[in-house]
Amino acid sequence: MPGPGRIAEFTKVPTSAKVARLFNFDIAQDRLKPEHKTWLIQFAIPLLRNGGSMSIIGLASTTGTDSFNSNLSKQRADSVIAFLRTNLPKGFAVQFELALGEEAARIAGLRDNVEDEKWRAIIVSVWDKPVPPPPPPPQPAPACKRLVIRASDGVGIYVFYNGPGDHKIIQQVTKVKASPGYIKNCATDFEKKATFLAGRRSNPIVYEYASDPGSNVVGEVVGHFFTINRFRIVASDADLKRLPSGISLNMLSIDAMLSGYTFGGPHGDTFISLGGKVRLFVSDDEMPGTTRIAYSSEAAESYDVATDVFGQIVAHTGTYASRYPKRESGLSVGEIVKDGAKKAIKDNLPKAVLEGLGPLVLLF
C-alpha cells in the first residue's frame, strides 16, 4: 500500500544498541522507503562504522503463498544489507539474518490472506560490538480498543439485538465517529482505506460497551457493514481450487460460497458440496492469492454484507439486482435477519462479542 515508511523503536534494549521495526513496505515489494534509509543512516551506519555488528529479521503479511512470503521477507532483509554496504567505506559483519515470511504474523494472530503494514517489515538490531545484540524482547502492544463515540456529524448506525431466541436489526438515531485511539493504535490497513474511517460508505458493527453512563462511548467495533457491488468482492484462490468439476465462480451466489455448498441438478434440489467454505473479502485493490467474483461492475448484483475488521465477509443480509441499488430509508424496528445471515454473524464474530455484557449490539 502506498505511504511513507514507518519506524517503531524498541525501548528495552541493551545500552548502546539500537533496535527498530522498519515497516510499511509496499505490498509484495522489498524496496526501502526514504524514511527507512534515514533511520539506517542516522543510527545503524555510525555503529557499524565503529566495528559494530547487526542482526536482521525479515517479515511479511499473510497474503500470497508461504513460499512467496518467505522469499519476500528475505529480499526485504537483503535490501537493508545492500543499502548499508553501499554506504559504508568498508564491509561489516551481519551476524544473523532470518527470513520468517508470514510465520511471525500468524503466531501473532493475523488471519490468512490479510495485509497489515506492521508485518510488511524488517527488524534491525545493531550496536558497536563485534557480536550482535540479543533479539529484542516482546514489546507490549499499545492499548487497542476500536471505540466509536457519539458525533452529530458521524455515520448513521443500526443495532443488531441478540435477544432470547431472536435476532433483530433495530434502527437507531445515534451517529458515531472513531475515537482518536482507534485511528492511531487499532485501525487495520483495510479499515484505513475501505471503511468510514477513510470517508467510504460503510457503517461500524459494534457490541454494547460497558461504560460510565456519562461517557460518550457508543461501542467497540468488531466489523463493518457495506452495500457493495459484486465486483468489489474477491475470493481466496486456495478455496476456489477445491470447487468440483463443472462448478464455475460466476455460477455461485455469495451465500453458497459462505456456506460451502449449493444446489443443482435438473430440479435444483441436488446438494453439491464446494469442498468447504470459500473465503470472501471486500477489496478495491488486487489482493495476491485472490480472484474477483465478477468480471465487471456492469449488471452485477449488489449486496449488504458484514465483514470483520480485516475485510473478510462474515455474513450476507441482502441482495439488489441493480448496479446502483435504491435502498429503503431504513430497516423497520424489529426486522429479523434471515436465518442464514444471523447464523453466519453468530458463528463468525468473536466469541467475546457474543458473550459481552448486556444485549449484543451490532451497528449496521
> Which of 36, 27, 125, 129 shows the shortest CA–CA distance to 79?
36
Q: How do residues 95-109 score in pLDDT, each as one tens digit?
A: 677 888 888 887 777
Q: How do residues 15-39 score in pLDDT, each as one tens digit?
A: 788 999 999 999 999 999 999 999 9
Q: Which domain holds residue 49?
A: 6-127
Q: How do residues 146-180 score in pLDDT, each as one tens digit?
A: 888 889 899 977 666 666 655 555 666 788 999 98
**190 and 292: one domain?**
yes
At residue 351, the pLDDT reads: 43
Residue 160 bridge partners (DSSP): 169, 362
pTM listed for this prediction: 0.58
Q: Output the average pLDDT for the chain.
A: 79
Q: How do residues 247-282 score in pLDDT, each as one tens digit?
A: 888 888 899 999 999 988 888 788 889 988 999 999
Q: Is 21 exposed, middle or buried (0-12, 13-18, 19+ CB in 10 A)?
A: buried
**28 and 177: one domain?**
no
- Cα of 194 vs its chain's centroid, Å: 11
**214 and 118: one domain?**
no
Query: CA–CA distance from 286 to each of 26, 50, 72, 228 (Å)?
Result: 13, 45, 18, 16
Distance (Å, rounded) from C-alpha 178 to C-alpha 199? 11
At residue 170, the pLDDT reads: 61
| 139 in any annotated domain | no
Both ends of the chain: CA-CA distance in Å?
27
Domain end: 61, 94, 127, which one?
Answer: 127
103: phi then psi, degrees, rounded to nearest 5: -60, -45
Kindly provide the b/e burial profile for residues 192-210, where b requires at least 16 CB atoms within 10 angstroms of the residue's own CB.
Answer: ebbbbbeeeebbbbbbbbe
| 61 in any annotated domain | yes
**120 and 151: one domain?**
no
**155 and 116: one domain?**
no
Question: What CATH number corresponds to the domain at position 92?
Answer: 3.30.1330.60
**Band of residue 78 on the pLDDT scale cut at 50, 70, 90:** very high
225 has a pLDDT exceeding 60: yes
| 138 in any annotated domain | no
At residue 13, the pLDDT reads: 78
240: phi then psi, degrees, rounded to nearest 5: -65, -30
- Count the domains in the chain: 2
Query: CA–CA distance from 136 to each of 82, 110, 133, 139 (Å)?
Result: 23, 20, 8, 8
Q: How do residues 277-333 score in pLDDT, each as one tens digit?
A: 999 999 988 887 889 998 877 778 899 888 888 899 988 888 887 554 444 333 332
At residue 340, the pLDDT reads: 39
**By the 8 A CB rule, do 177 and 153 touch?**
yes
| 167 in any annotated domain | yes
Distance (Å, rounded) from C-alpha 198 to C-alpha 185? 16
336 has a pLDDT exceeding 70: no
